[in-house]
Structure 1
Amino acid sequence: MRPPAKAESSPRRPADRVRRRPGPLRRGAVLAAAALTAGLLAPTTPGLAAPAVPAAPSDTEAKLAKLEKQAKALAKDYRGELVALTEARKAAEKASGKADGVRRELRAARDRTGDLAAEAYKSSGVDPSLQLAFAKDPVRSLNDAAAAEHLAERSGEQVRQLNTLVAERRAADADASEKLKAAERKVDELKKRRAKVAALVEKYTPEAPSSGVTASSNGDHPPYIGMEGITSRMAKVRDAVVARYGGKIVSVGCYRADGGGGEHPLGRACDFMLSSGGSMPSGEMAALGDSISQHAIDNADGLGVMYVIYKQRIYDMRSPGWDPMEDRGSATANHYDHVHISVF
């Protein structure tokens, strides 16, 4: 009797040889991609986790608009620009703008992270640059620790960037909040002094610029720039400073049309230069600036001085005391190379 015929086994198709359960590394990569998309990634690098994005302050713009309105009203009542308040308001606006910029960067970074996660998921957790190797030997590649590590590194770098941006965002929001509170405190301080300031400004009759006011009568004086168009009160202050320090002052500049909204275009401000060309003054000249500033403050009542700016600080007679100013980027803009004096 012939033995029963053995059933012929069908040959395995090539595809069957590679359809194996994904190895743990591949499954981890896919899960990592999914978690990354959801913002819940805990990367293989210890200490990394996708951060939660802090909510943006909802009332900053309204507070800034209110500050601007209050600043304009106070400047009108106090008869001149309140530089300390203007500086505080601009600092708050700048800090708020920086916070907005960081928020935009953070959104872009999260979008890039989401794109990476989607890319990884669509390719079964495999970076496109590795797909060729996978195609040649899928089993070996899927179990290749280097491939999984490469994907983890890319994911980890994205999360590091997100963590950095979130930290920057929180710091920017905190800075904006503090600058805003500082400006609000300045408004409150000025409001409390309203009666005293009203009595102070009442002492000085408003003056219009006079084309007849030019040079000092003190004889020898430093080079003058923009003397036509200053008020008589400003000329009086100029002459008093030049009489005391004229031999040492480099130059004096007063009226200029492009004063940036300050007192120069009104003929109510002069700059007493301590160096030239935007350079920092020597120690001796910086000390001279200290002396000029203090002389103007000590004699403010008789001269009609409204405020003095020197060394990135302002002393306003309507709110006595030195207040720091924001960094404007240069020795001249920060008033290190000259003393600025404005009058009522």
Structure 2
Amino acid sequence: MSVLVRRAALTVVAVAATVLVAITPAQAEPEGGTKPLRDALRAASQGYQDARTAIANAKKREGELSEEILASQARVADLSAAVGRLAAAQYRGGSSAQLQALLSSGSPESFLDTAATVRYLSERDGAQVTALKAAQATLARQRKDLDAAILEQENQLKELRKRQDEALKALRSAGGGDPTLGFGDLPANATPAPRNPDGSFPSEGCSVKDPTTSGCLSPRTLHAYNETKKANFDHYVSCYRSAEDGGEHPRGKACDWSSAAKGFGGMAVGAEKDYGNKLAAWYIANADRLGVLYVIWFRQIWMPGTGWRSYFGSGDPSSEHTNHVHLSMR
């Protein structure tokens, strides 16, 4: 083989190797920034969503208690009026009138009938007084519970603001955090992921097969993957990844969706950029349904409570997320 032929062959091999490197999943690592940054973003986003769920539950409880209090107030008013009439009757000589009725009985049988009637009236009057006291106690407890529900909302609102501040502080420490425009709006049409009765998401581990690697995913991440495919986003994707010093990939709670059809290449332009824009917008529209923790795309990050913010890597397409949309899940 001549020197020129050998050189040409080596050039072809080098180009092929470059192409292979461009499409290997390892090129989509990591989520960007440092492990402390990723840990801070996870804690801030999850804490924000937990607080929002707590506020929703507290508001729901406030509404229920408000209705219960109205019903209790009406019952207390009715019982108070009834007991007031009893008190007035007693004041006018109710007890002496009942005694006079007993004394005027004309026969033993009528005496017994009258005595039974008096006893019934006495028991009825006592029951109404007892019912009034119970209704008043119920109303007092409901008002106390309502105060607690309102206080819980106030506390969770403080927690929301705290988590927002933590997220922005973490982003700004990495040189980002400024508000950005995002990538437009799309309809929320994903099938919601399962939730607990209180509206929170169940805790999940890496327990189901990842269809994109030999690793595992959480059930909620697999649900998001399937819903993404159903929404016709079908470019190359890689989810589980173990060789990383943090982030959600090793937890089975993250996927990298390439803007190119076949693998992770250079910075997206044209149709590939449009694809990434639409995918990022779709995730934001369905964030609450799917349980999205955060999304990174084209030097921007979205988190609940902060919206789209600037987010920078080390300058290459993977760390800058200009060649793939990163999805992290609850």
TM range (shorter): 0.3 to 0.5
Q: What TM-score comes out, normalization by structure 1 length?
A: 0.40
Q: TM-score, normalised by structure 2?
A: 0.42
Q: Which has the higher contact order (CA 8 A, sep 6+)?
A: 2
